Chains A and B, each alone.
Chain A
Amino acid sequence: MSETVAFTIDLDGRRQIGLAEADATLLSLLRDGLEITGPKRGCNQGVCGACTVMIDGWPQRACLTLAAACEGKSVTTLEGYAEDPVMQRLARAFAEGGAVQCGFCTTGMLISARKLLEEEAKPDPDRIRQALSGNLCRCIGYRKIVEAVTAAAEGAET
């Protein structure tokens, strides 16, 4: 049994300190140590994508990342994007476009979509399907999620 230790991480733009077991994953640290509940534990195996967060600017699995390996790295969850205009457009497009059902995959899905719009201003549906292929959704059938990302990208002009 590992002992509990204090981790200091650069989270959502500020240094934050949370308690977790020494061998804890970033997901455990976020959820249990810091009460950041946006990232979800859907499988703890890196498959479902519900825990996806941005680490050093890249969407990664919080469940496959050790908290101890995050020292000196920057971690951003959905909460860190509260003031981000691109994320706000995505969030609105998801909410209004039928791209939210149970919502359990939504936070991770938005992180992946946010990265895509950073890489490509006007991705086509196939590119969006590629970029979201690591975020499983069991409710929606994906089409309306792809359309919401398209709408958010188009909304950038207006």
Chain B
Amino acid sequence: MTAPDEGQVVGRSLPKLENLEKVTGRAHYIADLSRPRMLHGAILGSAFAHARIKSVSIEAALAAPGVAAVITGADVGPGRMGAFIKDEGAIAQDKVRYLGEPVAAVAAETEAQARAACRLIDVVYEELPALTSPEAALAPDAPAIHEALQDYVKIFDSGSEGNLCSRSRFDEGDVDAAWADCDLIVEGTYTTQAQAHVAIEPCGALAEVDQAGRITLWSANQSVFRVQANVAEALSIPMSRLRCLTPQVGGGFGIKMEAHVQPIVVALAEKSGRPVKLILSREEDFEITRARHPFKIRIKTGAKKDGTLLARHCEVLVDCGAYADDSPGVLGYSLLMSRGPYRIPNVRAEGQLVYTNKLRFGAYRGFGNPQVTFAGEQQIDEIARRLDLDPFEMRRRNMVVAGEPWFLGGEVASCGLAECLDKVEQAAPPLPPAARGKRRGRGLAINAHISGLLGTGAIVRMLEDGSIVLNTGATDIGQGSDTVLAQICAEALKVPLDMVKVASPDTDGSPFNWGTTASRVTYTTGRAVIAASEEVARQIKEQAGAILECTVEDLELRSGGRVGIVGSDRELPFAAVSGRAHWAAGGPIVGHNTLVYDGKTMDPKRGSALGLPFPQIGVFSFIALLVDVEVDEASGQVEVLEAWSACDVGKAINPKLVEVQLEGAFVQGLGYALFEEMVWDGPRLANPSLMDYKIPTSLDAPFALHSILIEAPQPEGPFGAKGVGEIGINPVPAAIANAVAMALGRPLKDLPLSGERVLAALMESEG
């Protein structure tokens, strides 16, 4: 590292630490790993969406060429996993609840042999009616998808009954009384579709069991600790028997946070006594992992003539899929976000989460926020239009500012939203006229998202030569958290970035980290890294004080890995203090810190909540997004021409990586807004392939994506930083919908805004 970098690491767009491996093809992902005598696994998925398993015959599969082991539900015991409700086993037992659900798995010498053997397993089913919508599942005569729901262990228990997985209701003010004071009330029903994550790397895992029964498990994941907990629960084994590791991860966006194939792979390795690797096909990745929840949203918003918002009532019906996974959290979080970043004194948000016979829906970038924002931000525009207010002015009049509480009373300690709005408004030139056969529109949406949640830690170790190893247990899934955390550590210790190396997550050696989720790693783990680095600094000074015969208060860290006496040129390199610590006195220098995010979601004096899944949720980042679109009059297809995204991230530790988060999230949101949709034909997913499920290519994404970074520092955040992982996607469908509404002169309330839907609206407008 060159001299100018020293002590100025934070705020610089340094390349990610592992990029050289990735641009030379040498980075290794789960599919690239192998172990001696390794077998390959494959899964047999159920042929029905809802059925009792009468029998599973595996003899023919066991006799097939190359087969070493076959497992079924009988091999995995009674254990169940689930972040909120323990409702899911490693493999279906007694019953299948969605089409494709694993009913058996095979380990064989080759993947082809394992897949061929799966086809020889004979499963006899007794088919039950498949419930493919929340409405159908809530019908009084609907069969229960989980007959034993009442007996399940629940970390979070809110109204589970029949096929109702959970319900939540949050209130602030008196919404029923407030409508009478409103001059304008708008109401609407909005629907959103299931979106697939499509991380380009499919899910996979590799497990090996040693002679003592200890298991080493590598997998594509967003948290080695969630992998450990899920596998331990699903297979009823002590967590300490599992060592969970991760190679490079090829993207996540939520799909790799909770378990996918890890419990099955461990069970296969135990049964066969040999290492087993199982990588899902792209089709399986669509069919058996998880996806973004479809929402049905009824929303009503009331305002005074001058645009002041007075009341909002948001009611959601959420398809949970067959297992609870993170869904109760998504329901609760979406309701908490349904007010939007607005000062609305009277709000009620309520919803139901309903089991259906589809694959589980779960965590996906945005976590319920894009859905409610699609509805809420269209209503803000609708109110502005009907009151003849400019959309920017409408939002400025009502937006939250620092110091004002979030819905239910959470603290907003920093807020750069006003500047975000100003910046996108200033950046965008006047909307150019449409070309022949086209219509143009410009749409605005604003949003907030949390970063925070749960436990994290950091261990900063100084080696004998004064260089640093940082170990946090946070999984870098490609977004760059290893680099960002190393930058924070390097800055705190005033060393160049290349003096800090980052340990790979390892449940044996890393401090607990809940996961790479909830936009949380920079903010929560960054705080722990700073605290642990400060502890290291304290120990450095103690050692240096002993050598230089001065007090700790006399000492300062100097850039480049030195410690010296304030106002003097007497100083020592870190190697000298670390050498003394290792070999003479005090012991090796190690700083550690752990914390649980403890800011309160709710102030009981402000509101009431039934079924609040996250009592301590996080701090707020803010965003304003402006989008220009062109609608083709022949086909109804929408093209996004240009977008301006201004985001308050507190402090951009690595500005380029922040921009990539915004741009990547925008394009993922563009696909969600316009054409991405998992389509079910009855209970069968009709498009589980990249031939049929389309994500944006380089030609579908505009080149003119402008990222504008705003820094309203979060007081306790690392160098003021807040999260940015998810927020970029939240306003995209809403902003595009508002732009299309402007182009067409009428709103569209159903996602995706496919050519077909837009053309129908356009033809209505043509008369």
Chains A, B in direct contact (C-beta < 8 Å): yes
A residues touching B (Cβ–Cβ < 8 Å)? 1, 21, 31, 37-45, 47-48, 50, 77-79, 82, 90-92, 94-98, 100-107, 110, 125-126, 128-130, 132-146
Contact between A37 and B28, CB atoms less than 8 A apart:
yes
Contact between B200 and A138, CB atoms less than 8 A apart:
yes
Contact between B112 and A136, CB atoms less than 8 A apart:
no
Chain A residues closer than 8 Å to B690, beta-carbon distance: 43, 45, 47-48, 136
Contact between A104 and B23, CB atoms less than 8 A apart:
no
Quick check: is B356 within 8 A (CB to CB) of the other chain?
no
Quick check: is B699 within 8 A (CB to CB) of the other chain?
yes
Min C-beta distance of A99 to chain B, whole Å: 9
Contact between A144 and B660, CB atoms less than 8 A apart:
yes
Chain A residues closer than 8 Å to B478, beta-carbon distance: 101-104, 139
- Central interface residue in B28, B32, B657, B660, by most chain A CB within 10 Å: B660
Contact between A100 and B22, CB atoms less than 8 A apart:
yes
Contact mask B672-701 → A, CB, 8 Å, 1/0? 000000000000000001110001111101
Chain A residues closer than 8 Å to B282, beta-carbon distance: 42-45, 48
Residues of chain B in range 289-313 having any CB-CB distance to chain A below 8 Å: none
Given the known interface contacts A104-B29, A104-B250, A144-B663, the answer about A132 and B479 at a Cβ–Cβ threshold of 8 Å is no
Contact between A139 and B701, CB atoms less than 8 A apart:
no
B residues touching A (Cβ–Cβ < 8 Å)? 13, 15-16, 18-29, 31-32, 65, 110, 112-113, 116, 197-202, 248-251, 253, 279, 281-282, 477-480, 656-657, 659-660, 662-668, 689-691, 695-699, 701, 703, 705
Given the known interface contacts A41-B31, A44-B282, the answer about A139 and B479 at a Cβ–Cβ threshold of 8 Å is yes
Chain A residues closer than 8 Å to B13, beta-carbon distance: 98
Contact between B703 and A143, CB atoms less than 8 A apart:
yes
Contact between B200 and A140, CB atoms less than 8 A apart:
no
Contact between B27 and A103, CB atoms less than 8 A apart:
yes
Min C-beta distance of A142 to chain B, whole Å: 4
Given the known interface contacts A1-B113, A42-B282, A100-B16, the answer about A138 and B24 at a Cβ–Cβ threshold of 8 Å is no
In the docked arrangement, what's the CA distance between A11 and B354, Å?
Answer: 54
Min C-beta distance of A18 to chain B, whole Å: 14
Contact between A145 and B200, CB atoms less than 8 A apart:
no
Contact between A144 and B659, CB atoms less than 8 A apart:
yes
Contact between A40 and B667, CB atoms less than 8 A apart:
no
In the docked arrangement, what's the CA distance between A39 and B26, Å?
Answer: 10
Contact between B22 and A106, CB atoms less than 8 A apart:
yes
Chain B residues closer than 8 Å to A145, beta-carbon distance: 698
**The 6 nearest A-B residue pairs measured at CB:** A38-B25, A102-B478, A104-B250, A103-B22, A141-B663, A95-B19
In the docked arrangement, what's the CA distance between A100 and B478, Å?
Answer: 8
Chain B residues closer than 8 Å to A101, beta-carbon distance: 251, 478-480, 660, 664
21 contacts between A and B (CB under 8 A): A40-B250, A41-B202, A41-B279, A45-B691, A95-B20, A98-B656, A100-B23, A102-B248, A104-B200, A104-B251, A129-B698, A132-B698, A135-B698, A136-B697, A138-B199, A139-B664, A140-B664, A141-B662, A141-B705, A143-B705, A144-B659
Contact between B251 and A91, CB atoms less than 8 A apart:
no
Given the known interface contacts A98-B656, A101-B480, A104-B251, the answer about A48 and B200 at a Cβ–Cβ threshold of 8 Å is yes
Min C-beta distance of B264 to chain A, whole Å: 19
Given the known interface contacts A42-B202, A102-B201, the answer about A82 and B248 at a Cβ–Cβ threshold of 8 Å is no
Given the known interface contacts A102-B478, A107-B25, A140-B664, the answer about A146 and B251 at a Cβ–Cβ threshold of 8 Å is no
Majority-rule SS of B interface residues: loop
In the docked arrangement, what's the CA distance between A47 and B694, Å?
Answer: 10
Min C-beta distance of A153 to chain B, whole Å: 15
In the docked arrangement, what's the CA distance between A138 and B198, Å?
Answer: 7
Q: Which residue of A lies closest to B699 (CB)?
A: A133
What 6 new A-B contacts, CB under 8 Å, besides A41-B279, A140-B664?
A: A94-B23, A95-B23, A98-B660, A101-B479, A141-B668, A142-B667
Q: Which residue of A lies closest to B694 (CB)?
A: A47
Chain A residues closer than 8 Å to B20, beta-carbon distance: 95
Contact between A82 and B663, CB atoms less than 8 A apart:
no
Given the known interface contacts A41-B279, A102-B201, the answer about A91 and B24 at a Cβ–Cβ threshold of 8 Å is yes
- Central interface residue in B65, B480, B697, by most chain A CB within 10 Å: B697
Contact between B660 and A141, CB atoms less than 8 A apart:
yes
Contact between B664 and A110, CB atoms less than 8 A apart:
no
Given the known interface contacts A21-B112, A45-B690, A47-B690, the answer about A139 and B251 at a Cβ–Cβ threshold of 8 Å is yes
Chain A residues closer than 8 Å to B197, beta-carbon distance: 138
Contact between B689 and A43, CB atoms less than 8 A apart:
yes
In the docked arrangement, what's the CA distance between A139 and B16, Å?
Answer: 14
In the docked arrangement, what's the CA distance between A139 and B112, Å?
Answer: 31
Q: Which residue of A lies closest to B705 (CB)?
A: A143
- Central interface residue in A21, A37, A82, A134, by most chain B CB within 10 Å: A37
B15, B25, B251, B253: the one contacting A95 at CB < 8 Å is B15
Min C-beta distance of B279 to chain A, whole Å: 7
In the docked arrangement, what's the CA distance between A110 and B20, Å?
Answer: 13
Q: Which residue of B lies closest to A21 (CB)?
A: B112
Chain B residues closer than 8 Å to A139, beta-carbon distance: 251, 478-479, 660, 664
Chain A residues closer than 8 Å to B659, beta-carbon distance: 98, 144
Contact between B200 and A1, CB atoms less than 8 A apart:
no
Chain A residues closer than 8 Å to B19, beta-carbon distance: 94-96, 100, 103
Given the known interface contacts A40-B29, A142-B698, the answer about A1 and B116 at a Cβ–Cβ threshold of 8 Å is yes
Contact between A102 and B695, CB atoms less than 8 A apart:
no
Min C-beta distance of A144 to chain B, whole Å: 6
Chain B residues closer than 8 Å to A135, beta-carbon distance: 698
Chain B residues closer than 8 Å to A97, beta-carbon distance: 656
Min C-beta distance of B622 to chain A, whole Å: 20
Q: Which residue of A lies closest to B479 (CB)?
A: A101
Contact between A50 and B667, CB atoms less than 8 A apart:
no
Contact between A102 and B25, CB atoms less than 8 A apart:
no
Chain B residues closer than 8 Å to A104, beta-carbon distance: 29, 199-201, 250-251, 478
Chain B residues closer than 8 Å to A102, beta-carbon distance: 199-201, 248-251, 477-479
Chain B residues closer than 8 Å to A92, beta-carbon distance: 23
In the docked arrangement, what's the CA distance between A1 and B120, Å?
Answer: 14
Q: Which residue of B lies closest to A4 (CB)?
A: B110
Chain A residues closer than 8 Å to B477, beta-carbon distance: 102
